[in-house]
Amino acid sequence: MSPAVRILFLADSHLGFDLPIRPRVARRRRGHDFLANYAAALEPAKNGEVDLVVHGGDVFDRPGAIASLAFQAFQPLVEIAEAGIPVLVVPGNHERSELPHLRLARHPNIHVFDCPRTFVRTVRGVRLAMVGFPYHRRDVRSRFRSLIAETRWQEEEADLRLLCLHHCVEGATVGPGDYVFRGAPDVIRPGEVPPSFAAVLSGHIHRHQVLTRGLDGARLAAPVLYPGSLERTSLAEIGEPKGHLILTLDPSASPVVRWEFRALPARPMVRLEIAGAELLPADLDRAIRGAVAAGPEDAVLSIRVSGPLTAGHWAVMSSGHLRRYVPATMNVEVRPAGGLDRGALAGRRGGDRGVPNEAPAARSPATRGDSRRGGRRPGGRGALDPDQGPVDGRPLGAQAPGVLPRGAPRSPTGIATSPVSIGGPPENS
Ligand SMILES: [Mn+2]
């Protein structure tokens, strides 16, 4: 028997993304891709390839998931637990630090970091201390040391300690502009991780990355591992590989922690900008049809049309019109670029603050901070929501699944424009 402990580490499954309960329109939902990748990510545990599973949070895309979705999320975990493999889950910000319908996940091998806690398990003769706390909304930076202390990790003897989180750590990067998280109140200083920890396992940052050095370039005592999200939740994740991590831990080896990233089949994202004002509606229609024809069959295609736009333009951008020819295998959304809806949206979103370090060219909607959340933060950081990245393709406010956002801006033709979409995630993401 190998002394090395193998851990499957996944995070940010965002189940429920584009999965309306009562869809108004029958079409391909990206939600099924998320469910499929969730199942695929858990395969190594179902195969018995690993000794332990850690989910780093944002199991669900939004708080208050319905019971049937919670069942879909938890049942595979229960089966893994049933096979004798411990499963640990860190509640993320998308479930508001609290997993719903936990009765469906009740099993002696399923452990939830519902508060700062230490779970100890002996696996392959290695006494593992799994230490963690749920997503902490207020100023985790200044609270970090006391949250760690509240886990009472020092009271447990262990051969190996792992810290399980759902947070930004200094030096993590996201988005097309490679935004770097630095000194904000929601960013943890890696130097404050106690030295006896072998690694930090964290969800929240949707781009897969492993931090081994601090912002000052000094080597970190423990690597910070982000498996990234299982599928792309926004255009900021365009081109990023998606998958999960397999960790190999051997207290007698050097290094103690090794990791392997395993990719999952993420749908190709394509982004296109069209200058609508220079085109007659018929030409715009042709341009959109051309983009659809050129895209990969399973593309998630996002088209931005710059204005000013006439009623004729709106008509060819409407979801009803798109539905006539967009293949069922694709998700396409066509939205006005930049300022057109800005006024209307700004009212709903509480302003629009950009990412500080991005070049103007990159400051498309795909790189804007999700001020829906940013605005609720104390002191409103106004930067990217790390796990979300940008607001793009996502709803602009809370709404019931399967309905357009309340008060969605309407075009002169009465077509809902927030967003004009077919196949995209906006209704229920
Ligand atoms: Mn997330």
Based on C-alpha coordinates, what's the Rg of the chain?
Answer: 22
Query: How far, in Å, is the centroid of ligand 1 from the Cα of 316?
Result: 34
Range of 390's domain? 269-428
Strands (E), 278-427: 300-306, 331-336, 421-422
The angle formed by the CA atoms of residues 229, 230 and 234, to the nearest 5 degrees, is 60
Name the nearest CA neighbour of 167 among 197, 151, 189. 189
The angle formed by the CA atoms of residues 220, 237 and 192, to the nearest 5 degrees, is 20
Q: Where are the alpha helices (DSSP H) in 42-191?
A: 43-46, 67-82, 140-150
Highest mean pLDDT among 248-257, 335-344, 353-362: 248-257
273 and 361 in one domain? yes
354 and 231 in one domain? no
297 and 236 in one domain? no
252 and 329 in one domain? no
Q: Are 358 and 173 in contact (CB under 8 A)?
A: no
The C-alpha atoms of residue 82 and residue 76 are separated, in whole angstroms, by 10
| Residue at which a domain ends, from 232, 264, 296 | 264
334 and 212 in one domain? no
Query: How far, in Å, is the centroid of ligand 1 from the Cα of 14?
Result: 7
Q: Are 247 and 6 in contact (CB under 8 A)?
A: yes
Q: Is the pLDDT of residue 335 over 50?
A: yes
How does pLDDT run across 290-305, given as a tens digit for each residue?
A: 999 999 999 999 999 9
Run of H or E residues at 139 = none
DSSP, residue by residue, 50-83: -SEEEE-S--BSSSS--HHHHHHHHHHHHHHHHT
User: Residues 111-124, buried b or exposed e (16+ Cβ, 10 A)?
Assistant: bbbeebbbbebebe
Query: How far, in Å, is the centroid of ligand 1 from the Cα of 319?
Result: 28
3-state class of 428 per DSSP?
helix
The C-alpha atoms of residue 14 and residue 61 are separated, in whole angstroms, by 4
291 and 243 in one domain? no
3-state class of 399 per DSSP?
coil
Query: How far, in Å, is the centroid of ligand 1 from the Cα of 26?
Result: 26
Name the nearest CA neighbour of 17 among 127, 125, 94, 78. 94
Query: How far, in Å, is the centroid of ligand 1 from the Cα of 123?
Result: 29
Q: Are 120 and 159 in contact (CB under 8 A)?
A: no
Query: How far, in Å, is the centroid of ligand 1 from the Cα of 213?
Result: 23
Run of H or E residues at 412 = none
228 and 319 in one domain? no
The C-alpha atoms of residue 194 and residue 219 are separated, in whole angstroms, by 14
Query: How far, in Å, is the centroid of ligand 1 from the Cα of 232?
Result: 10
Q: Is the pLDDT of residue 311 over 60?
A: yes
Name the nearest CA neighbour of 259 among 250, 267, 269, 268. 250
Q: State percent of the chain over pLDDT 90.
A: 72
Run of H or E residues at 128 = strand 126-132
Query: How far, in Å, is the centroid of ligand 1 from the Cα of 63?
Result: 12
Query: How far, in Å, is the centroid of ligand 1 from the Cα of 35?
Result: 15
Query: How far, in Å, is the centroid of ligand 1 from the Cα of 199?
Result: 20
Q: Are 117 and 151 in contact (CB under 8 A)?
A: yes
Query: How far, in Å, is the centroid of ligand 1 from the Cα of 187?
Result: 15
Query: How far, in Å, is the centroid of ligand 1 from the Cα of 94?
Result: 7
165 and 99 in one domain? yes
How does pLDDT run across 225-268, given as a tens digit for each residue?
A: 999 999 999 989 999 999 999 999 999 999 999 999 999 999 99
Q: What is the mean pLDDT of the chain?
A: 82
The C-alpha atoms of residue 260 and residue 254 are separated, in whole angstroms, by 16
Query: How far, in Å, is the centroid of ligand 1 from the Cα of 278?
Result: 38
How does pLDDT run across 185-217, given as a tens digit for each residue?
A: 999 999 999 999 999 999 999 999 999 999 999
pTM of the model: 0.80
Query: How far, in Å, is the centroid of ligand 1 from the Cα of 152?
Result: 27
Query: How far, in Å, is the centroid of ligand 1 from the Cα of 236?
Result: 13
Q: What is the CATH number of the domain that holds 17?
A: 3.60.21.10
Specify the amino acid at residue 206: H
Query: How far, in Å, is the centroid of ligand 1 from the Cα of 314?
Result: 33
Q: Is the pLDDT of residue 386 over 60?
A: no
pLDDT at site 406: 31
Diameter over CA atoms, the chain: 72
76 and 218 in one domain? yes
Neighbours of 76 (CB within 10 A): 18
Q: What confidence tier does 37 reach under pLDDT thresholds 50, 70, 90?
A: very high
Q: Are 144 and 189 in contact (CB under 8 A)?
A: yes
273 and 258 in one domain? no
Q: Are 427 and 325 in contact (CB under 8 A)?
A: no
Strands (E), 252-310: 257-264, 269-275, 300-306
How does pLDDT run across 148-184, given as a tens digit for each residue?
A: 999 999 999 999 999 999 999 999 999 989 999 999 9
pLDDT at site 394: 29
Query: How far, in Å, is the centroid of ligand 1 from the Cα of 61?
Result: 7
Name the nearest CA neighbour of 3 among 160, 164, 130. 160
Neighbours of 282 (CB within 10 A): 10
403 and 259 in one domain? no
Query: How far, in Å, is the centroid of ligand 1 from the Cα of 205?
Result: 7
Token pair recorded at residue 39 = 């199942």
Query: How far, in Å, is the centroid of ligand 1 from the Cα of 72?
Result: 18
172 and 44 in one domain? yes
| Residue at which a domain ends, from 247, 264, 281 | 264
Query: How far, in Å, is the centroid of ligand 1 from the Cα of 387?
Result: 4
| Residue 398, Cβ density class (10 Å: 0-12 exposed, 13-18 middle, ≥19 buried) | exposed
Rounded to the nearest 10 degrees, how much is the dihedral formed by the CA atoms of 108, 252, 162, 110?
-10
The tally of domains found in the chain comes to: 2
Query: How far, in Å, is the centroid of ligand 1 from the Cα of 10?
Result: 11
pLDDT at site 422: 31
Q: What confidence tier does 107 reach under pLDDT thresholds 50, 70, 90?
A: very high
| Residue at which a domain ends, from 201, 230, 264 | 264
Specify the amino acid at residue 176: P
